[in-house]
Chain A
Amino acid sequence: MLFLAEAIVALLILIGAFFLLVGSIGLAKLPDLMRRLHGPSKASTLGIGAMLIASMVYFTAVHGDLSIHEILITFFLFITAPVTAQMIAKAHFLAERRAGRLALPPTGTPAGWATFDPCQADASAEEDRREAEARTDTA
């Protein structure tokens, strides 16, 4: 029984370490920020999640005292990971203003992307339209 618990703990720790390494390789290797965002999200959910489950199993089965406070960290990370990713993506789009805007697919409506301020989105849509008109005029 103890052997089984230790095997489960070891396996979960190795799974967690694997996903952390994969996440960081993705962060170091992928070409641009929107693709780099994917790697660390796997690390923070699967990697940390597996390690915290391993910690829970270890202290409960091997040491014999019930240990569930690791759920706090899991819960906190699972709540904050999407918020972090959204903030980073938003900062990225607003930082590289015009190039980032042109890389986005069209919304199909008169309004621009909601990530940009409404007035800025309108102004940018106007700017893009004028530029498209200029392009058709010269063509």
Chain B
Amino acid sequence: MIAAACLVAVVATCAALVLTLYRLAVGPDTVDRILALDTLVINAIALIVVAGVWYGTAMYFEAALLFAMVGFLTTVALCKFLLRGNVIE
């Protein structure tokens, strides 16, 4: 049952990734692309968590945590660059 749910979740998350990639490619603005990158990271975290449940190992947890942190830093750095033209002043 869990394996079936994981399969459905992986398919749904991959569909979400494709939609996000569409916005990343099309997105009329730089800010749209930053938002798409942020959502891409969120979807990747979900994929990693589902993989951890599917394979029954807790090893993937650290990867998900690192993705969450790096994704946040990336988004803030990109926004900061757009706002000020510089990341660290």
Listed in ascending order, the chain A residues whose CB lies under 8 Å from chain B are: 6-7, 9-11, 13-14, 16-18, 20-21, 23-25, 27-28, 33, 36-37, 39-40, 43-44, 47-48, 51-52, 54-55, 58-59, 62-63, 67, 69-70, 72-73, 76-77, 80, 83-84, 87-88, 90-92, 94-96
Question: When A20-B12, A24-B16 are in contact, do A91 and B83 touch as well, CB less than 8 Å?
Answer: yes
- Beta-carbon contact of B23 and A27 below 8 Å: yes
Query: Which residues B21-61 have CB closer than 8 A to chain A?
Result: 22-23, 29-32, 34-36, 38-39, 42-43, 45-46, 49-50, 52-53, 56, 58, 61
Q: DSSP majority for the B interface?
A: helix
- Residues on B facing A (Cβ under 8 Å): 1-2, 4-6, 8-9, 12-13, 15-17, 19-20, 22-23, 29-32, 34-36, 38-39, 42-43, 45-46, 49-50, 52-53, 56, 58, 61, 64-65, 68-69, 72, 75-76, 79-80, 82-83
